[in-house]
């Protein structure tokens, strides 16, 4: 199939690539896989979020409580990166959970500047059944996949995620340095 002889009746099954070539549905490259991943993640997130909202928790609060359930007490600054929250957002989330009596905060015995966050009995009573239901929901979503397919999917997603993180860091490093390798901030003497 070439660009001069394209049947408009099959356009829905054809995608244009930067190279100027057309490809037929079923032979997609990474850009199509990215779109499929985004659509799948959005659908999965909508489904999971509805279940999380049934608990009365928001997404970030659920993630914080789930991490504390599985990892035990942690410093606030450790929780943020695990649940993908900025330092300001994790502080607000912990304050909100503390105000609800779901977590406790205490100074670290090793470093008084560090606050350790832990589940309270009330927090554990809320997150245990909520996480059990979340687990059931995820099992329903992934029920179509065999254990081998799940392992392969997890491995592939981790590879892609690590590669994307490395490329992001490379881009940031290039942006921080100028054309001669020095930092882009000028130093005044």
- Segment 33-47, tens digit of pLDDT: 999 999 999 999 999
Q: What distance in Å separates the CA atoms of residue 118 and residue 105, rounded to the nearest whole number?
A: 7
Which residue, 144, 164, 142, is CA-closest to 154?
142
At residue 6, the pLDDT reads: 46
CB 60 within 8 A of CB 85: yes
Domain boundaries, the chain: 54-162
Lookup: tokens for 72? 């035990």
At residue 76, the pLDDT reads: 93
CB 119 within 8 A of CB 68: yes
Continuous H helices in the chain: 30-53, 59-71, 76-82, 87-99, 121-141, 147-176
Does the pLDDT value for residue 28 go beyond 50? yes
Does the pLDDT value for residue 166 go beyond 70? yes
At residue 3, the pLDDT reads: 46
CATH number of 54-162: 1.10.10.10
Q: Identify the residue whose tokens are 């779901």.
A: 102
Does the pLDDT value for residue 167 go beyond 60? yes
Does the pLDDT value for residue 113 go beyond 80? yes
Average pLDDT over all residues of the chain: 84
At residue 27, the pLDDT reads: 61
């Amino acid at each position: 199939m070439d660009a001069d002889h394209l049947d408009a009746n099959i356009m829905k099954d054809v995608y244009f690539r930067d190279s100027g070539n057309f490809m037929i549905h079923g032979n997609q490259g990474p850009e199509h896989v990215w779109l499929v991943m985004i659509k799948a993640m959005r659908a999965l997130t909508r489904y999971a979020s509805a279940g999380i909202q049934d608990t009365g928790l928001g997404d970030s609060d659920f993630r914080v409580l789930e991490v504390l359930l599985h990892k035990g007490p942690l410093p606030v600054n450790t929780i943020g990166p695990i649940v993908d929250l900025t330092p300001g957002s994790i502080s607000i989330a912990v304050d909100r959970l503390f105000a609800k009596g779901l977590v406790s905060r205490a100074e670290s015995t090793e470093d008084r500047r560090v606050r350790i966050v832990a589940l309270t009995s009330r927090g554990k009573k809320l997150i245990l059944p909520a996480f059990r239901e979340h687990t059931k929901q995820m099992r329903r979503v992934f029920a179509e996949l065999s254990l081998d397919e799940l392992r392969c999917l997890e491995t592939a997603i981790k590879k892609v995620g690590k590669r994307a993180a490395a490329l992001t860091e490379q881009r940031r490093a290039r942006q921080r340095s100028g054309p001669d390798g020095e930092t882009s901030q000028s130093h005044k003497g």
